[in-house]
Amino acid sequence: MTADTAPVIISCGEPAGIGPEIAAAAWAAIGAQVPMVWMGDPRHLPAGTRYQVIDLPEEAAGICTKALPVLHHGFPNPATPGTPDPANAQGVIDVIAACVELVQSGDASALCTAPIHKKALIEGADFAYPGHTEYLAALSGGTTRAVMMLASDALRVVPATIHIALEEVPRILTPDLLRETIEITDHALRQQFGIAAPRIAIAGLNPHAGEGGAMGRQETDWIAALIGEMREAGFDLRGPLPADTMFHAAARRRYDAAIAMYHDQALIPIKTLDFDKGVNVTLGLPFIRTSPDHGTAFDIAGKGVATPASMIEAVKLAARMAHL
């Protein structure tokens, strides 16, 4: 099977969350245009979902116009919306691993993961990873650092540091980490987004990018020097830029992706610009992985009100990246 014919595979995620319903809704919206297959227990899909169990991903292409193709992976129990079942935790983990195998073998073109609930996995299966991304990196061999990108039509942004306390950022943010983040981002923009000469904007860490050392010294002590060094090596970089002026429309036209220094500096602008359609893309893996930019939403699971917009965009982006 080639990348042109292999489907995007969607992992089931937490069965008690909104993952199964937004996957079914994504198929209903774009299944005729994007070959896809869902892996999980069909008992967890919303009542009335048109699905067909298949044996191999290659069978999905001929079915997608009529039904959601399903690679069956049985779970011990049905799902109760909003209430994760510890008995189902290992199944969630096993589905992710099985999906990665299919992508790495070429039987699927890309992986789109539905949201998981880390607490449920830890309590039910002693899950040993901080999150989805770290588990995927381990499954892929863990040879490179995985980097998170949030992408939409309005903005692509990469946080150099992610889920750590704000007071830890200056310690964790090092020249080596920022250099690696820039290199991985540049490579992904070229190889997975088809941008021949990526332009990358780099935010400063401090207000006003430090204002010459008056509001923090990281920019003057090493960030500017690192950017200059990497420019000389051929990277098209702008910065360090004040974060409060680099995300308006005119500024965004001057770069292809922005690198922010910490979680909220990256996520606030993209969630403000395009809350429903943002997509989480993992850079640095040897395969394509996207995900909706939201969680399990236990409070609305099973009520039929969850918007599938981010899942739809995640599947579409995964397919575009795979077929460049």
* Residue 166: how many other CB atoms lie within 10 Å: 11
Residue 157 above 60 pLDDT? yes
Same domain, 91 and 129: yes
Three-state DSSP class for residue 20? helix
* Residue 12 maps to a domain: yes
By the 8 A CB rule, do 238 and 221 touch? no
Cα 295 from Cα 297, distance rounded (Å) = 6
Domain count, the chain: 2
- Cβ 268 vs Cβ 142: under 8 Å: no
Position 177 in a domain = yes
Is 140 found in the same domain as 160? no
pLDDT 10s digits, 70-120: 999 999 999 999 999 999 999 999 999 999 999 999 999 999 999 999 999
pLDDT digits (tens, 9 = 90+) for 241-286: 999 999 999 999 999 999 999 999 999 999 999 888 899 999 999 9
pLDDT bracket for residue 143 (50, 70, 90):
low
Q: Is the peptide bond before 207 cis (omega within 30 degrees of 0)?
A: no
Over 80: is that where the pLDDT of 54 sits? yes
More confident residue, 134 or 221: 221
Are residue 121 and residue 202 in the same domain, yes or no?
A: no
Q: What is the mean pLDDT of residues 64-75?
A: 96
> Are 219 and 121 part of one and the same domain?
no
Contact in structure between 9 and 98 (CB atoms under 8 Å): no
133 and 55 belong to one structural domain: yes
Is residue 3 included in any domain, yes or no? no
Specify if 75 maps to a domain. yes
- Statement to judge: residues 20 and 138 lie in one domain: yes
pLDDT band of residue 230 (cuts 50, 70, 90) is very high
Mean pLDDT computed over every residue of the chain: 94
Q: Are residues 188 and 69 in the same domain?
A: no
Does 281 map to a domain?
A: no
Instruction: Decide: pTM greater than 0.85.
Output: yes
The answer on 120 and 182 residing in a single domain is no
Q: Give the pLDDT band (50/70/90) at residue 1.
A: very low
Q: Is residue 82 part of a domain?
A: yes
Residues 117 and 186 in one domain: no
CATH of the domain at 72: 3.40.718.10
Domain residues for 232? 154-272
Q: In this structure, what token pair is assigned to residue 231?
A: 């420019």
Say yes or no: 174 and 232 in one domain: yes
Confidence of residue 22 (pLDDT cuts 50, 70, 90): very high
Determine, yes or no, domain membership for 96.
yes
Residues 120 and 214 in one domain: no
pLDDT value, residue 129: 86
Give the closest residue to 42 by CA, choosing from 10, 12, 83, 13: 12
My answer on whether 258 and 295 are in the same domain is no
Distance in angstroms (rounded) separating the CA atoms of residues 261 and 71: 40
pLDDT of residue 4: 61
- Give the helix/strand (H/E) hosting 280: strand 279-283
84 within some domain: yes
Specify the pLDDT at position 171. 96
* pLDDT for position 323: 84
CA distances from 16 to 104, 133, 220 (A): 28, 20, 49
